[in-house]
Amino acid sequence: MDGLQASAGPLRRGRLRRRRKPQPHSGSVLALPLRPRKIRKQLRSVVSRMAALRTQTLPSEDSEDSRVESTADDTAQHLAAVQSSGAPATASGPQVDNTGGEPAWDSPLRRVLAELNRIPSSRRRAARLFEWLIAPMPPDHFYRRLWEREAVLVRRQDHTYYQGLFSTADLDSMLRNEEVQFGQHLDAARYINGRRETLNPPGRALPAAAWSLYQAGCSLRLLCPQAFSTTVWQFLAVLQEQFGSMAGSNVYLTPPNSQGFAPHYDDIEAFVLQLEGRKLWRVYRPRVPTEELALTSSPNFSQDDLGEPVLQTVLEPGDLLYFPRGFIHQAECQDGVHSLHLTLSTYQRNTWGDFLEAILPLAVQAAMEENVEFRRGLPRDFMDYMGAQHSDSKDPRRTAFMEKVRVLVARLGHFAPVDAVADQRAKDFIHDSLPPVLTDRERALSVYGLPIRWEAGEPVNVGAQLTTETEVHMLQDGIARLVGEGGHLFLYYTVENSRVYHLEEPKCLEIYPQQADAMELLLRSYPEFVRVGELPCDSVEDQLSLATMLYDKGLLLTKMPLALN
């Protein structure tokens, strides 16, 4: 995304780095690629959703009419704009939200976060927040038709839509009050005359240095906003369960009449949330098939490397832009207005190829141990007809050799430890994840809500215990994974992770064999409650031992508050 550095390595949480001219839009716009025969049906759905959204967020405006604009692209699909008339969205000068990181009381973000707090299931919370993120577009349509395929613009005539997520006031407060380091947490970069510069001085990013670089035309890129902002942390921690993959973010503050980063593509799915000001974006399709769904980020491109953009638009506060990995993009501020946007990124190295890359060596090893065909020797003369120098040979021995390879490769599927590799990837996801943000209910009914404290010279309210009658379930759905390693079972969990990517080592508990079935039941039954006395263990002692260990670690909640002995 705008300024994501090219990198073939793992994505750090918080670093993650064609046919028509831009036209001014009035009112709310949803722009997405559609097939011609589907346009009419989709418009009815989109227009009805837009009407509902406008009724909710702009009750004082009257909707007059709608019209459709579309242009053909290289794949014979259409870019359709569904436009509802109304007062044009405008932005003049810096728009600073002085909420200090707390969502504004009357903002859509505040309302959806309050709604999430009332939803008992973490799965449903994740689905609801994603639905809000891309509204009014239906999530099923997005995943079926657009995810990993097309650049999408969701334009909203609501400058308050993201209000309270992050602001320039929050950044200013961080510079003054937090240990923000250049290069580690904050980058200063600019793109002038086709040349990208990074101007990070050493040490702490104090306001004097950071704002001087901003005035000199540098974009400021905050690499780990969730480490400093509770709201961004909650936003990402909920959405990571929707994606089943690490969700990271960067925040970009760009001065008026400047561009911070060169055209490039990234190796992540990018959602750009425009928070303040305006920014002109140009998005281009992958130039060649090998860049589609790119595995690594690109070097910087020059303008000569680019064709015509598939999408060119000015983002206003409240707008959303999505583009898949491999889509080249660049953005610049114009008209004397600054820009602040947050980029949500996910799905780095989360492909079938990455899965197979892990599984195939293990499959070959297992095949060689279990099937004698994989242990038989190569033909003594195979070098006489195999290899590049024999690639044009019609030797029948070459044909037989190639057929033998195909047969053996096909048999590898029988030896592939698919579940074991899935568990290891799940373990990695648990380590990558942000720690969970708890709802009021989750806090009150877990160990975090026990009223234990120091009072009058001694600890009080100590002694609450689980019994066989206590009903429990996991704290949230995606916070733990049971993995077998070296003949032992370990439960890896997220509750002690850091808000900074991989600052802590993976955390786990050993689960004894006699408790394995009970642990699997707890993981599978969420969000339904299970009575401790019904856990499938050999003894009451094992039931209580497992439940107490999980509760004390903050991984379980109870149906009712625990009573004190």
Q: Hey, which residues does 480 pair with through a beta bridge?
A: 493
Dihedral over alpha carbons 400, 403, 404, 408 (to 10 degrees): 180
Q: Residue 429 contacts by C-beta under 8 Å, 6 or more apart in sequence?
A: 244, 245, 246, 481
Q: What is the pLDDT of residue 91?
A: 31
CA distances from 435 to 118, 157, 241, 515 (A): 19, 34, 11, 25
For the residues 462-474, what does the mean pLDDT come to? 95
pLDDT greater than 80 at residue 470 = yes
> Which of 246, 123, 283 is closest to 502 using CA atoms?
246
Q: What is the pLDDT of residue 73?
A: 39
- Radius of gyration in angstroms for the set of CA atoms belonging to the chain, rounded to a whole number: 27
Confidence of residue 87 (pLDDT cuts 50, 70, 90): very low
Confidence of residue 563 (pLDDT cuts 50, 70, 90): confident
CA distances from 432 to 11, 93, 502, 503 (A): 10, 38, 7, 10
pLDDT greater than 60 at residue 44 = no
Please state at what angle helix 108-117 crosses helix 230-243, rounded to 10 degrees.
60
* Residues making up the chain, counted from first to last: 565
Rounded to an integer, what is the distance from CA 12 to the centroid of its chain? 12
> Which of 513, 551, 514, 6 is closest to 296 using CA atoms?
6
510 membership: H or E segment, kind and range: strand 507-511
Percent residues over pLDDT 90 in the chain? 79
307-334 pLDDT tens trace: 999 999 999 999 999 999 999 999 999 9
Tokens of 474: 């996991």
* Averaged pLDDT score across all residues of the chain: 86
For the residues 113-134, what does the mean pLDDT come to? 98
Q: What is the pLDDT of residue 314?
A: 98
Q: What is the pLDDT of residue 529?
A: 98
Confidence of residue 427 (pLDDT cuts 50, 70, 90): very high
| SS percent in the chain: helix, strand, coil, step 5 | 35, 20, 45
At residue 173, the 3 state secondary structure works out as helix
Show the domains of the chain with their CATH numbers: 108-346 (2.60.120.650), 356-417 (1.10.10.1500), 433-558 (3.90.930.40)
Q: What is the pLDDT of residue 564?
A: 75
pLDDT greater than 80 at residue 212 = yes
pLDDT greater than 60 at residue 534 = yes
pLDDT greater than 70 at residue 31 = no
pLDDT greater than 90 at residue 69 = no
pTM of the model as a whole: 0.82
Q: What is the pLDDT of residue 558?
A: 98
Percent residues over pLDDT 70 in the chain? 81
